[in-house]
């Protein structure tokens, strides 16, 4: 064995048995999506029965009040004002809208003679940001400068600042990465931007706006728009036990940008910002999920750390030098629930290991790329070697993950690698 004595963990011969309640699988893919919280289910079920009327109708005051309550609940979880929240169909829509609207706004301000506006972002962003900015660039609407995340999966504040120019209209850096769990220095970038924007104002230039995709952060770490110093922020409900809708936070002074440059065209719903009859059921569900986060974040964080420590110790004890952590888990720079690891050696590719797993349900990286055998660009851009990236699996625990589930996961991974290599570690 590569590590210590595994006799305690593997006192039964493989294959092993698991309790009946886990026969349908052990889910450790909470960064991909989460189940609805019981309170959210109750709230949405009640809305289905009682809040089905069109919010735009004069007789639907009760429905409008429920939406207003959800807006306040959503704003509270990030320290914003209710009027700064706009509900969207998803985080992808939110990201796309913010990026396109700001480019349109900046283009109008500058005029063709002054050149195209520029977006500064990173090479480790979610596709909803990276593909959108590249599409805008391909259309000739803006220039894009991408800073590297190769220093341990984290962008460097100085790199972001140094890539800003007179043409820069927006910085978009995610708060926490969905594949790696690495937390980006958003607050520090925002602080630098305050200084930069003061200098720009003195020169008669418009400020550089700041957006962060907080899809993976809400529900795992504290997110306060004032402390983060951001102008725009993306919220995604199904990442923290809510429904699959999103929301945009936009600082009050820039709300006119979104109103003047809508992403969709239609009626005047969402106070004229986003057309389409409001999805009341999901909106109140999102609001309730945000309230649940407000009440429970401290307890959840404690659970993540306790259960995550057990997972970390179990992986080290069982696999030793046969497994490496891609990033420093349980550190201040990593989401407390996220473990990006890779098995060392040939025939230990992440997707092959997971295919051999009997019960473990996890991902090789981003859930939207699950099942693909190509190497994750985000992992490569985060500084991993090609082999390490190819062999990576992402284990992300949830608020209800138990030690028993961790034990099953470890045994399942052990037998999966044993099947692939033909040897016991």
**Maximum separation of any 2 CA atoms in the chain, in Å:** 74
DSSP assignment of 48-77: HHH--S-TTSTT-HHHHHHHHHHHHHHHHH
Cα gap 358→367, rounded to integer Å: 19
Cα gap 142→159, rounded to integer Å: 20
pLDDT at 334: 97
What DSSP element (H or E) covers 105?
A: helix 91-110
198: Cβ–Cβ under 8 A, 6 or more apart, which residues?
A: none
SS3 for 201? helix
pLDDT at 289: 98
pLDDT at 363: 96
**Residue corresponding to tokens 């919280």:** 37
Residue pair 337/323 in contact (Cβ under 8 Å)? The answer is no
Strand partners, 183: 176
The percent of the chain in helix, strand and coil, each rounded to the nearest 5, is 45, 15, 40
pLDDT at 365: 74
The answer, yes or no, to whether the previous bond of 392 is cis (omega within 30 of 0) is: no
Question: pTM for this one?
Answer: 0.93
| Residues marked as catalytic | 368
Residue 188, token pair as written in the block: 């520090």
DSSP assignment of 392-406: EEEEE--TT--HHHH
Tell me the residue length of the chain.
425
Block means of pLDDT (10 residues each) for the chain, length 425 residues? 42 66 93 98 98 94 97 98 98 98 92 79 98 98 97 97 96 98 98 97 94 98 98 98 98 97 94 95 98 98 98 97 96 97 94 96 73 82 97 98 97 95 72
Rg (Cα) of the chain, in Å, rounded? Answer: 23
Write down the H helix ranges in 139-254.
157-162, 186-202, 225-228
DSSP assignment of 230-284: -SEEEEEGGGTTS-S-EEEEE-GGGHHHHHHS-SS-SS-TGGGTS-S---HHHHH
- Sheet with 323-325, side-by-side order of all strands: 323-325, 338-343, 392-396
Side-chain-facing half-sphere of 131: CA atoms under 13 Å: 7
All domains in the chain, ordered by first residue: 20-37+296-421 (3.90.1150.10), 38-292 (3.40.640.10)
Residue 395, token pair as written in the block: 């284990």
CA–centroid distance for 210 within its chain: 17
């Amino acid at each position: 064995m590569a590590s210590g004595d595994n006799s305690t963990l593997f006192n039964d011969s493989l294959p092993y048995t698991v309790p009946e309640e886990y026969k349908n699988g052990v889910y450790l893919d909470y960064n991909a999506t989460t189940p609805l919280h019981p309170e959210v289910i109750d709230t949405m079920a009640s809305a289905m029965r009682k809040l089905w009327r069109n919010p735009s109708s004069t007789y639907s005051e009760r429905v409008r009040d429920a939406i207003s309550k959800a807006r306040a609940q959503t704003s509270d979880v990030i320290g914003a004002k209710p009027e700064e929240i706009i509900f969207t169909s998803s985080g992808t829509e939110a990201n796309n809208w913010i990026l396109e609207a700001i480019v349109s706004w900046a283009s109008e301000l500058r005029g063709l003679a002054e050149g195209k506006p520029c977006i500064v972002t990173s090479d480790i962003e979610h596709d909803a940001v990276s593909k959108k900015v590249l599409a805008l660039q391909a259309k000739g609407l803006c220039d894009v400068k991408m800073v590297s995340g190769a220093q341990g999966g984290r962008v460097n504040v100085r790199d972001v600042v140094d890539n800003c120019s007179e043409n820069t209209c927006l910085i978009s850096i995610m708060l926490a990465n969905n594949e790696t769990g690495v937390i980006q220095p958003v607050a520090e970038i925002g602080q630098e931007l305050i200084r930069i924007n003061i200098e720009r104002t003195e020169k008669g230039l418009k400020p550089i706006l700041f957006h962060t995709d907080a899809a993976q952060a809400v529900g795992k770490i504290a997110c306060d728009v004032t402390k983060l110093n951001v102008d725009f922020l993306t919220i995604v409900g199904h990442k923290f036990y809510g429904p699959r809708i999103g929301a945009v936070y936009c600082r009050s002074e820039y709300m006119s940008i979104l109103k003047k440059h809508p992403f969709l065209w239609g009626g005047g719903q969402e106070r004229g910002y986003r057309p389409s009859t409001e999805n009341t059921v999901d909106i109140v569900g999102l609001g309730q999920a945000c309230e649940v986060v407000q009440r429970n974040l401290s307890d959840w964080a404690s659970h993540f750390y306790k259960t995550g420590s057990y997972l970390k110790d179990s992986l080290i004890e069982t696999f030793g030098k046969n497994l490496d952590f891609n990033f420093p888990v349980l550190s201040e720079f990593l989401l407390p629930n996220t473990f990006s690891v890779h098995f060392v050696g040939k025939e230990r590719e992440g997707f092959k290991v997971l295919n051999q797993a009997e019960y473990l349900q996890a991902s090789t990286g981003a859930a939207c790329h699950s099942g693909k055998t190509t190497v994750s660009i985000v992992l490569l851009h985060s500084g991993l070697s090609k082999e390490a990236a190819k062999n990576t699996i992402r284990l992300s625990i949830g608020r209800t993950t138990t030690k028993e589930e961790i034990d099953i996961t470890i045994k399942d991974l052990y037998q999966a690698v044993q099947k692939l290599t033909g040897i016991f570690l």
